[in-house]
Chains A and B, each alone.
Chain A
Amino acid sequence: MRRPLPTLQRRGSALSVPGVQLEVLSGLGLRQGFHEALQGADLFPLHALGITVLQVNVGKKCNQTCKHCHVDAGPDRTEVMPDAVVDQVLAVLEGTDIPTLDITGGAPELHPRFREMVSRARDLGRHVMDRCNLTILLAPRFQDLPEFLAEHQVEVVASLPHYNQGQTDAQRGEGTFGESLEALRKLNGLGYGRDGSGLLLNLVTNPVGAFLPARQDALERDWKREMERRHGIVFNNLYTITNMPISRFLEYLQESGNLELYMDRLVAAFNPQAAQAVMCRYTLSVGWDGSLFDCDFNQMLALSVNHGAPRTIFDFDLEALKRREIVIGPHCFGCTAGQGSSCGGAVAE
């Protein structure tokens, strides 16, 4: 039985305040600022190149409280995207040719209009991604969700830090691993992850600790072999995502005494090729209240789009947003280290 932990907000932690997180990071005395790293790569100021993904964070409520969560999501969070914002998101999709709707949270499936958003986006011919924590698929009111996702050909992007129990439960809570496997078997049973089915099942792994992820291609080979050998589970792609030094992972870094070393590693591993391909250059992130951000990480740090770009979904202006200047900070080193990191995994060699 999973036992969710209280969120930073519930515990009254100072780190639940975005400004405090930014103060901690900016007080570290890094060997170079992110803008300097970009200057060295001839990428400053960093501009978006278009919007191919509308990533919508429908709320912070979740049935889990993972230790590394950058959202500080959990069962005690109450932020849920209101109807007016949902309607406007769908109106923006309808009025543009943005090809992909990426729905995230929290556990996005908990939003009362999740299925409607999926259906309407699919009716518009858009690719839809569900960032799924897997265990939600076993919750009483959601057991028919896998069939719904399959019927609408939704890409499932599922979090699983490791193919063994110890590592997964250490990050995501006791009992999560067993439930995750059960959900994955259910998805496999519907054709998800199987060649030729057209049903994409991609797994996301974040390191379980203060280190960088492995090479995505090498790790994917290991994972495909081990997931099938140990658990009889298949999937399409493995995405490696670097833990961002914010929110609950920032708390872990501080408490474990790893913060300075981890940030040093991120800065030292700055890869210009990854910086060139960071996801904020082709993604627009929408917050639960309709505010616009360059990415989900900036969203959690309350760093809304800036430099003259419209700041809410109600003022959406594709021309102004698709060439906007990106708002940056020291946390951005998390997306440019090594092979780089994005919601679609590594971005560079």
Chain B
Amino acid sequence: MSDSYYDAADLSKFGDMGEFAPELARKFFGWYGAVFEEGALTEREKALIGLAVAHAVQCPYCIDALTEACLEKGSDPEQMTEAVHVAVAIRGGASLVHGVQMKNSLKRLGM
């Protein structure tokens, strides 16, 4: 067992999550695969969204997997970097918008 909480080799063991709950895993992986199939959005667009979300939730496994998926669906590094900035903007904006709450408190507490 690795001393690290995150080990790149663990990504390939993701499928083993079905070991103690096979039916739930079957449902999850089936649904997961269907989510990324072409629909109203293309597979490439979905992979870019996935990449952005992977950064928002800061999952290193997801970042590795979605980087490869984005390349294999035809995105280029510029498009992928812009997708990451979208995640960053929302995360940053989510923090900043809480400044309104700070201002409300200031107003309540101040003179």
Chain A interface residues (CB < 8 Å from chain B): 162, 164, 166-167, 207, 209, 211-215, 218-219, 221-222
Contact = CB atoms under 8 A, between A and B. Distances in A.
Contact of B44 (A166, A211, A222): A222
B76 A162 contact: yes
Given A167-B76, A211-B72, A219-B44, 10 more contacts: A166-B78, A167-B77, A207-B71, A212-B72, A213-B74, A214-B44, A218-B38, A218-B43, A219-B73, A221-B42
Interface of B: 38, 42-44, 68, 71-74, 76-78
Contacts of B43: 214-215, 218
B68 A211 contact: yes
Main secondary structure of the interface of A (DSSP, over half): loop
A167 B72 CA distance: 14
Contacts of A167: 76-77
Contacts, number: 37
23 contacts: A162-B76, A164-B76, A166-B76, A166-B77, A166-B78, A167-B76, A167-B77, A207-B71, A209-B71, A211-B71, A212-B72, A213-B74, A214-B72, A214-B74, A215-B43, A215-B73, A218-B38, A218-B43, A218-B44, A218-B73, A218-B74, A221-B42, A222-B44
Nearest to B38: A218
B78 A164 contact: yes
Name, among A207, A213, A215, A221, the residue most crowded by chain B CB atoms within 10 Å (CB to CB). A215
A218 B42 contact: yes
Contacts of A221: 42
A214 B75 CA distance: 9
Contacts of B73: 214-215, 218-219
A213 B38 CA distance: 16
B78 to A, nearest CB: 6
Contacts of B38: 218
A138 to B, nearest CB: 24
B67 to A, nearest CB: 9
A222 B72 CA distance: 13
A137 B23 CA distance: 59
Contacts of B71: 207, 209, 211
B78 A219 contact: no
Contacts of A164: 76, 78
Given A214-B44, A215-B43, A222 B68 contact: no
B40 to A, nearest CB: 14
Name, among A207, A209, A213, A214, the residue most crowded by chain B CB atoms within 10 Å (CB to CB). A214
A101 to B, nearest CB: 31
Contacts of B68: 211
A222 B77 contact: no
Contacts of A213: 72, 74
A164 B42 CA distance: 20
A300 to B, nearest CB: 25
A239 B72 CA distance: 14
A136 B9 CA distance: 45
B72 to A, nearest CB: 5
A215 B43 CA distance: 9
Q: Which 6 A-B pairs have the closest CB atoms?
A: A214-B74, A219-B74, A211-B71, A214-B73, A211-B72, A167-B76
